[in-house]
């Protein structure tokens, strides 16, 4: 998607009824450099929360917070340096971000939607705006991504960020 182009529902491959969008759906636009810090910190926090959940509920090995954060920061910086990012901006508040997607080609590295915007089709809107459809790959395993993967028949490939 070219910089500066604002996307509303025009050009979306799935109709709004499928996405579950309300009339006040956010505008999708390329992320600004000034929003990079928000994307970085949010991604890191979501990854840590997922790791803690896995350790509590699954037989996943425990990783020390310092080592995890150091490795995750390198991974996120690598992905951000090689990827595009789009943000969903609420119509009623131009300073807020409802969610974002970081992707490169057919691979989604991270998709995030803030709590009060969840279950409104924003993740689907971001996927469509990124030109992704059924069968994409994702490299960051989160609970929300597992749900999206089932819905969109996506495959988990954690090594895609290393390429």
At residue 101, the 3 state secondary structure works out as strand
Strands in 31-161 per DSSP E: 84-89, 99-104, 107-113, 137-138, 155-156
- Residue 42 pLDDT > 80, yes or no? yes
- Residue 14 pLDDT > 80, yes or no? no
The predicted pLDDT at position 163 comes to: 55
pLDDT band at 99 (very low <50, low <70, confident <90, very high): very high
Tens of pLDDT, residue by residue over 60-88, are: 667 777 877 888 899 899 999 999 999 99
What is the residue-wise DSSP string for 134-145?
Answer: TT-EESS--HHH
- Residue 6 pLDDT > 60, yes or no? no
Say if residues 69 and 48 touch (Cβ distance below 8 Å).
Answer: yes
Read off the pTM. Answer: 0.78
Q: Which residue, 130, 129, 76, 124, is CA-closest to 103? A: 130
The predicted pLDDT at position 54 comes to: 57
Residue range 10-31: mean pLDDT, rounded: 60
The predicted pLDDT at position 146 comes to: 85
Tens of pLDDT, residue by residue over 106-146, are: 999 999 999 889 989 999 999 999 999 888 999 988 878 88
Mean pLDDT of the chain: 80
**Domain range annotation of the chain:** 24-162
Q: What kind of architecture, by CATH, is found in domain 24-162?
A: 3-Layer(aba) Sandwich (3.40)
- Residue 49 pLDDT > 50, yes or no? yes
């Amino acid at each position: 998607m070219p910089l500066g182009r604002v996307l509303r529902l025009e050009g979306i491959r799935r109709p709004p009824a499928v996405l579950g969008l309300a009339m006040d759906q956010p505008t999708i636009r390329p992320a600004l450099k000034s929003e990079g810090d928000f994307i970085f910190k949010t991604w890191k926090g979501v990854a840590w929360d997922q790791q803690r959940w896995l350790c509590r509920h699954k037989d996943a090995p425990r990783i020390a917070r310092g080592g995890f954060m150091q490795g995750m920061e390198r991974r996120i910086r690598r992905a951000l340096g090689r990827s595009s990012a789009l943000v969903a901006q609420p119509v009623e508040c131009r300073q807020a971000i409802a969610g974002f997607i970081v992707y490169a080609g057919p691979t989604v590295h991270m998709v995030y939607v803030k709590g009060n915007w969840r279950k409104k089709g924003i993740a689907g809107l971001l996927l469509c705006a990124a030109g992704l459809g059924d069968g994409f790959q994702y490299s960051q395993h989160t609970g929300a991504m597992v749900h999206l993967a089932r819905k969109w028949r996506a495959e988990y490939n954690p090594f895609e960020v290393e390429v």
